[in-house]
Amino acid sequence: MKKIFFILAIFTIIIANAQTKGILLMNGTAHLGTDSVINNSAIGIKNGKIILVADASSAKIDKTAYDEIINIAGKHVYPGFIAPNSTLGLSEMEAVRATNDYTEVGTILPDVRSLIAYNTDSKIIPTIRSNGILLAQVTPRGGMISGTSSVMMLDGWNWEDAAYKADDGIHINWPSLQTRKFLDLDNLNQGPYEKNKEYTKQTNELRKLFADAKAYNESPFNEEKNLRFESMKGIFNGTQTVYIHSSNVKEIIEAVYFAKQNALKRVALVGGRDSWMVTDLLQENNIAVIVSRLHDLPEHPEDDVDLTYKLPYLLQKAGVLFCLNNEGGMEAMGTRNLPFMAGTAAAYGLTKEQALKSITLNTAKILGIDKTTGSIEAGKDANIFISTGDALDMRTNNVEKAYLKGISIDLNNDQKKLYEKYKNKYGLK
């Protein structure tokens, strides 16, 4: 009897956390994530969904239908930003090995799931959502096939609560045509590039794996269950995406033809520093690009010094679907800078609303969650936030309220607590 009562109590708590009260946000500037802006908006939220998006200066709105009306005049409303290809929740302190849980032993690991390793108690996550990032694609690293990623909400008691889209895709690290050895391990000095003599062997290994997995999943009967092949079923029926990590133009071309040969239905390129050279090929094969970190140096000595900044514009101009990510050193904590990378892209060719799409609706489309999030539209989940200023500018980004599925989330974090502590200590205002 006690066990039954305990289960009912937990169920009651979970239900109580769901949003039931109607909320109406009035008079703010709404950036919808669809290239549209409403300067004097009315946004209605109920049962975790957006039920109204209108121009408050012309639409007739029944305010009695809402339990709470919030006047946000002079402020900005945005769809929650989405961080793809991230180790958030899998890495806490890069220098402390015990806090990093994004790599498994082995090279071919499609059955490894980042979902169950996601740590909702990470101290980094609250600092990320303070800048408006509310969803993240939590991605494993290492090996030739790293494993399977999942899209997570940056709030929740545990990974089951936080899961937004489980097992959205498998990540392949395409073999490199060139290798580079360390000459001095103490100072990590790297030597010149050399031809990768194992390249053909490695790519053939990938081709064989995919051929075997496809044959296994097309067979009506298999004597033994193969967990690796079972985990790859979704990439052949189109329910999962294959994310191919590569930046070199020759490797990108080979990866595209690999995808065609295996009739992969959903493919995205991750990194893609040289993707601007083969935009026709990418567009022709409907391959999106998750663009590598903008605040970085160019890939090649002959590249324009500002190539990384204007890469989004070059892809936009060519009609290639793209979004931004922050893979690299200090990756998890640096994810908070994702909106400012979009701001940089806006300074190098994109409009502000196109830059916004690169971390909202475009990302949602690539991750396969655009039917429920990524823009402020009626019928979608109420994953939105309010900023007192332009959220793509580090000088004015000031998130004062955020909602995940209509539930107001805590925007406090340890950094803010320290700021308040020492501000009070020294009598600063």
Q: What is the pLDDT along the chain (429 residues), one digit of tens a residue?
A: 444 444 444 443 344 467 778 999 999 999 999 999 999 999 999 999 999 999 999 999 999 999 999 999 999 999 999 999 999 999 888 888 888 888 899 999 999 999 999 999 999 999 999 999 999 999 999 999 999 999 999 999 999 999 999 999 999 999 998 877 666 655 556 667 788 888 999 999 999 999 999 999 998 888 888 999 999 999 999 999 999 999 999 999 999 999 999 999 999 999 999 999 999 999 999 999 999 999 999 988 899 999 999 999 999 999 999 999 999 989 899 999 999 999 999 999 999 999 999 999 999 999 999 999 999 999 999 999 999 999 999 999 999 999 999 999 999 988 889 999 999 999 887
Residue 327 one-letter amino acid: E
Domain with 347, as residue range(s), is: 85-371
Q: What is the largest CA-CA distance in the chain?
A: 73
CA distance 122 to 245: 26
Q: For the chain, what is the domain count?
A: 1
- Can you give the pTM of this predicted structure? 0.92
253 lies in some domain: yes
CB neighbours (10 Å) of residue 319? 10
Q: Which helix (H) or strand (E) holds 206?
A: helix 199-218
In 3D space, the residue among 379, 387, 402 whose CA is nearest the CA of residue 48 turns out to be 379
Give tens-digit pLDDT for 146-194: 999 999 999 999 999 999 999 999 999 999 988 776 666 555 566 677 8
CA separation, residue 106 to residues 5, 110, 370 (Å)? 44, 11, 33
Q: Would you say how long the chain is, in residues?
A: 429
Which pLDDT score, from 0 to 100, does residue 191 have? 64
Which pLDDT score, from 0 to 100, does residue 21 have? 87
- The CATH code of the domain that includes 168 is 3.20.20.140
80 lies in some domain: no
CB neighbours (10 Å) of residue 420? 11
Which pLDDT score, from 0 to 100, does residue 183 have? 61
70 lies in some domain: no
404 lies in some domain: no
43 lies in some domain: no
Which pLDDT score, from 0 to 100, does residue 360 have? 98
SS3 of 178-193: the string is EEEEEEECCCCEEEEE
115 lies in some domain: yes
CA distance 187 to 369: 43
50 lies in some domain: no
CB neighbours (10 Å) of residue 224? 5
407 lies in some domain: no
CA end-to-end span of the chain: 56
17 Cβ contact partners less than 8 Å away, ≥ 6 residues apart:
407
Angle between helices 199-218 and 249-261 (to 10 degrees): 20
